[in-house]
Structure 1
Amino acid sequence: MISLILLLLIIITCWLIERCRVRKPEKIVGYYAAWNKTVSPKDIDAEKLTHINYAFANIGNDLKIELGYPDVDEKNIKELNKLKKINPELKTLISIGGWNWSGDFSNVALTEESRNTFADSVIDFIVKYKFDGVDIDWEYPVGGGLPTNKTRPEDKQNFTLLMRKLREKLDERGKIDGKHYLLTFAGATNNDYLNNIELDKLAEYVDYVNVMTYDIHGPRDQFTDFNAPLFTNSDRSPQYKWSVDEGITNWIKTGFPRDKMVMGIPFYGYEYKDVPDINYGLYQPFSHGNSISYSDIVKNYIDDPNFVHFFHKESKVPWLFDGFTFISYDNKKSIGYKAKYIKDKGLGGAMIWELGQDYEGVLLNSLYNDLKGCK
């Protein structure tokens, strides 16, 4: 009898191990921001990530890639590459542009000459700094980013041409180095953005896309709301409604491969001040707001007895309210729902903005365990 029980335990244990292995997510992509002062690259839990995107490199006046934060970049990049000793499967990518530094992408993509100049500089850069690929964070082709950005209607076609050129150059270098260099980009979810790029053609050139399913609401709005609600709720609201699910559904409708969609999850929230004590602070006017990391939320608010914890049963996200301050964020519970959504939809994985905002690794651990399917 004891031998039979022992045998059953061994079988169950092996089954659980295999189940974890099989269900391990294909991609967990984490952005690391150069300006982060809280978490050093060497503190990142590399075993729970498949890819790290270093943000951001800039575009110089000569339309070539250049270091964005030269006072810290070289040290940070060396530390990131050392993580590959801990996780030999880890890939590092340089992310170019972002919200603040997308002003010259239109010029970069404009001509065959400018595309060649930029692509050649990218190859030199990733070889020099031992990156495994490049992530293009153009916010945004044709329009929608900073008003100072250079934009053109032909950005739609030129973006495709730029990505094709990068793919060609990366493949040429890959043959020399005996490896596959990754090409990705960060993309928005609204219809205007999707109409301004050629997803059907881009799918051929990119390994995957980091879909920015956050910043759905924020201090730019007139009323408090959720940063990244998973689902659109049935509440009466004085402002527009949108959700992670609607954004991902937009991408799916284009026919873009699901396994190349990596869904964004924020490790930060938004804090709103001078909020009326009505409807638990939700959908109310406010005087000002700001971004706040999950770590700061835990440090300053989670255990404050003045704050009441809420969780929206439809949108599947939490918030905090003390009668004056409203905080929208993601926690372990909401990330569990998002991980299940990623698996249910057959997506390629999860993307994190940004690793330094969760310095104790609480959310990363939760995301990793939930996507693996093992607690």
Structure 2
Amino acid sequence: MKKYIMRTGILAVSAFMLIIFSWQNNKDAFAENEAGPSSQIPKTEETSALKTGKLVGYYAAWSAYSNFYPSQIDVSKLTHINYAFANIDSDLKLTLGYPDVDPENIRKLNSLKETNPDLKTLISVGGWNWSGRFSDVALTGESRNRFAESCVEFIVKYGFDGVDLDWEYPVSGGLTANGRRPEDKQNFTLLLQKIREKLDARGILDQKHYLLTIAGGADRSYVDKVELTKIAPYLDYANLMTYDLHGTWDTHTDLLAPLYPNSDSSPQYKTSVEQAVNTWLDASFPAEKLVMGIPFYGYLYSSVSPSNRGMYQKFGGANSISYEDIKTNYLNKSGYTRFFHSQSKAPWLFNGTIFISYEDGQSIGYKSEFIKSKNLGGAMVWELSQDPKGELLFALYHGLGKQ
């Protein structure tokens, strides 16, 4: 699945009245304005403790260009923050990705530990745009050693607690210009082994444990091209990118991150968050090390046919859209109706020509329950600037904090 580095993304946890409709056609699949387990969340529980797993948030460096800074993050709701992204230079070493804003961003990010001493910060490397050199990094013992040493130097210099590798993707996929080799599958394991070795050696000196994590693909193809059982011992956890299951690259409108499969007749491929999680678990990746991704953004499709409430229709154009944008300009606005898929547990908006797939407090409530039912390691969000007022973050915090 495609994880674009310049996403702008999505949804809502403010208490709102929802109207329940029962449709005579497709009533088993669709429910308009269906109230869910977290559609109304009391704002009085701000101090409740997170009781279930990790809550990992990505902070995108470029958010500073839009005046959203680390100091604006509600750090009380997070256990880990991944700073995205660092790059890989021509010497195959870790380097700053946005040197004009990175030093100040990182300083502000790490100062959040004064408010939340348990917070861990990680530098995330690569992403959709900057995965081109990973294959070269992983290729030889010498290149792996050089990169691993640069990771240690980087996190010590900038005060991070670990490193997150976002290689999109080993063996195949990603940008066409990316380096790729069949042996990436085995070399990825060796790279993680070397980084783990270097982090542990430095950890002994510093008397602390440095974290090593990855962002992993949500489809079968990714699982087939990495050695999940072999890399698991080297990882503290993996952030599963369970979003972009459908998007602008499709031929028809669809749900961005449906939790469950549905029985709809569709002109394109079917997939779900549940399917992605089960694929990893079936490959013997430990549930407690699997952190499930949730988008704070959506996709807006234009020139959509009014048939089937806009679902599974061809479209004229499409773009990514943040939850903040959705909430401000589309949600509860004249002409727009909110629908909720009762099987896939996902909302969308439609006004007759514009279709918006996104995430909200209700869908996050269902996903929180799913995470707990599977005994997963927690939740991850991409990315924090897309929900600047923290409404979706509060919904997720509240959902994971339920007993």
Taking structure 2 as the reference length, the TM-score comes to 0.87
Q: 2:51 — aligned with what? A: 24
Superposition pairs for residues 95-114 of structure 1, below 5 Å?
95-114=124-143
Confirm or deny: 8 A CA contact 1:265 1:350 kept in the other structure. yes
Q: Hey, what does 1:176 align to over in structure 2?
A: 205
- Counterpart in the other structure of 1:268: 297
Q: SS of the counterpart of 1:204?
A: helix
**Cα distance in 2 for residues equivalent to 1:119 and 1:325:** 47
Q: Following the alignment from structure 2 to structure 1, what is the Cα–Cα distance between the partners of residues 144 and 332?
A: 52
Q: Which has the larger radius of gyration?
A: 1
1:189 deviation in Å?
A: 2.0
Cα deviation 1:173-199 (Å, max 9, x = unaligned) = 000101000000000121111111111
Where does residue 344 of structure 1 map in the other structure? 373
Would you say the 8 A contact 1:270–1:291 is kept in 2? yes
Deviation at 1:58, TM superposition (A): 0.3
Which position in structure 2 is the counterpart of 1:13? none
Deviation by residue 1:308-360 (Cα, 9 ceiling, x = unmatched): 11000000000000001000000000000000000000000000000000011
Q: Secondary structure at the match of 2:242?
A: coil
The reply to whether residue 309 of structure 1 matches residue 338 of structure 2 is: yes
1:56 to 70, 76, 85: 85
Residue type of the partner of 2:392? Answer: L
- Which protein has greater RCO, CA pairs closer than 8 Å, 6+ apart? 2
Task: Give the aligned partner of residue 243 of structure 1.
Answer: 272
- Equivalent residue for 2:308, pick from 279, 288, 299: 279
Report the counterpart of residue 34 of structure 1 in structure 2: 61
Report the Cα offset of residue 139 of structure 1.
0.4
Instruction: State how many pairs are aligned.
Output: 355
Is the Cα–Cα contact under 8 Å of residues 123 and 163 in structure 2 kept in the other structure?
yes
Structure 1, unaligned stretches of length 5 or more?
1-16
Equivalent-residue separation in structure 2 for 1:197 and 1:34 (angstroms): 28
Tell me the CA shift for residue 38 of structure 1: 4.4
Q: Determine the structure 1 residue equivalent to 2:145.
A: 116
State the Cα distance separating 1:25 from its structure 2 match.
1.9
CA distance in 1, matches of 2:232, 2:116: 28
Q: What do the CA deviations read for 1:212-246 (whole angstroms, capped 9, x no partner)?
A: 00000001000000000000110000100000000
| Residue identity opposite 2:396 in structure 1 | L
Q: Which residue of the other structure, out of 391, 394, 403, is the alignment partner of 1:362?
A: 391
- Alignment identity in percent? 60
Determine the C-alpha separation between the residues in 2 that align with 1:157 and 1:90: 33
Equivalents in 2 of 1:124, 1:370: separation in Å?
37
Q: Which of residues 119, 132, 154 is equivalent to 1:90?
A: 119
Inter-partner Cα distance in structure 2 for 1:133 and 1:360: 27
Partners of 1:165 and 1:299 in 2: CA distance: 46
CA distance in 2, matches of 1:81, 1:251: 32
Is it true that 1:68 corresponds to 2:97 in the alignment?
yes
For residues 174-213 of structure 1, the aligned pairs below 5 Å read 174-213=203-242
1:287 and 1:358 mapped to 2: Cα distance? 27
The answer to whether the Cα contact below 8 Å between 2:53 and 2:376 also exists between their aligned partners in 1 is no
Residues 136 and 185 of structure 1 are in contact (CA less than 8 Å); yes or no, is this contact kept in structure 2?
A: yes
In the alignment, structure 2 segments of 5+ residues that lack a partner are 1-44
Is residue 48–residue 368 contact of structure 1 (8 Å, CA) maintained in 2?
yes
Q: Which has the higher helix share?
A: 1
- Residue pair 1:38, 1:356 contacting (<8 A) in 2 also: no
SS of 2:131's equivalent in the other structure is coil
Encode CA deviations 1:37-70: one digit per residue, 9 max, x unaligned: 2421000000100000000000000100110001
Give, as a single letter, the amino acid of the residue that structure 2 aligns with 1:81.
Answer: N
Counterpart contact for 2:253–2:311, Cα < 8 Å: yes
Q: Which residue of 1 aligns with 2:184?
A: 155
Provide the TM-score with structure 1 as the length reference: 0.93
Aligned 8 A contact 1:38 1:359 in 2: no
Q: Distance in 1 between matches of 2:60 and 2:218?
A: 22
* In structure 2, distance between residues paired with 1:232 and 1:144: 24
Alignment of 1:249-260 (within 5 A): 249-260=278-289
Query: Where does residue 335 of structure 1 map in the other structure?
Result: 364
Contact 1:65/1:125 (CA < 8 Å) preserved in 2?
Answer: yes
Q: Is the 8 A contact 2:281 2:287 kept in 1?
A: yes
Residues 1:224 and 2:253 aligned together? yes
Structure 1 stretches of at least 4 aligned residues deviating more than 4 Å after TM superposition:
none
Which of 166, 169, 172 is the matching residue for 1:143? 172
TM-fit CA distance, 1:303? 2.4
Name the CA shift for 1:258/1:58 in 2 (closer, same or farther; >3 Å).
same
Q: CA deviation at 1:362?
A: 0.3
- The CA deviation at 1:305 is 1.4
